[in-house]
Amino acid sequence: MQQQPHACIRLAALRHNFARIQQWAPNSKVMAVIKSNAYGHGDVAVAKALPDCDAFAVATLAEAVRLRQAGIRQDIVLLEGVQSEAQYQQAVTLHLTPVIHEIRQLGWLETYQGTIPACWIMVETGMNRLGFPPKDIALIYHRIKKSHRVTGDIGLMSHFANADNPDDQRNQQQLERLSALTLFDTLPVSMANSAAIMQLPESQLQWVRPGLMLYGASPFLAKDAKQLGLQAVMTVKAQIIAIKVIQAGEEVGYGGDYTAATVKKIGIINMGYGDGLSRQLSNCGFVLWQQKRLAILGRISMDMTCIDLTASTAAIGDEVTIWGESMPIEATAMQAGTIPYELFCQLTRRIPRLYDGKS
- Positions marked catalytic: 35, 254
Output DSSP code: residue 123. B
DSSP code for 226: G
Q: Where are the beta strands (DSSP E) in 221-304?
A: 234-246, 251-252, 258-259, 264-269, 286-289, 292-297
- The contacts of residue 191 (CB under 8 Å, 6+ apart) are 157, 158, 159, 160, 174, 175, 178, 203, 205
Q: Quick check: 345 and 33 in contact, CB under 8 A? A: no
Q: Which residues contact 224 (CB under 8 A, 6 or more apart)?
A: 218, 328, 330, 331
Angle subtended by helix axes 103-111 and 85-93, to nearest 10: 60
d(CA 16, CA 211): 14
**Amino acid at the residue 121:** I
Vertex 53: Cα angle to 47 and 55 (nearest 5)? 80
| 5 in Cβ contact with 236 (< 8 Å) | yes
Distances (CA, A) of 90 to 36, 47, 81: 20, 21, 12
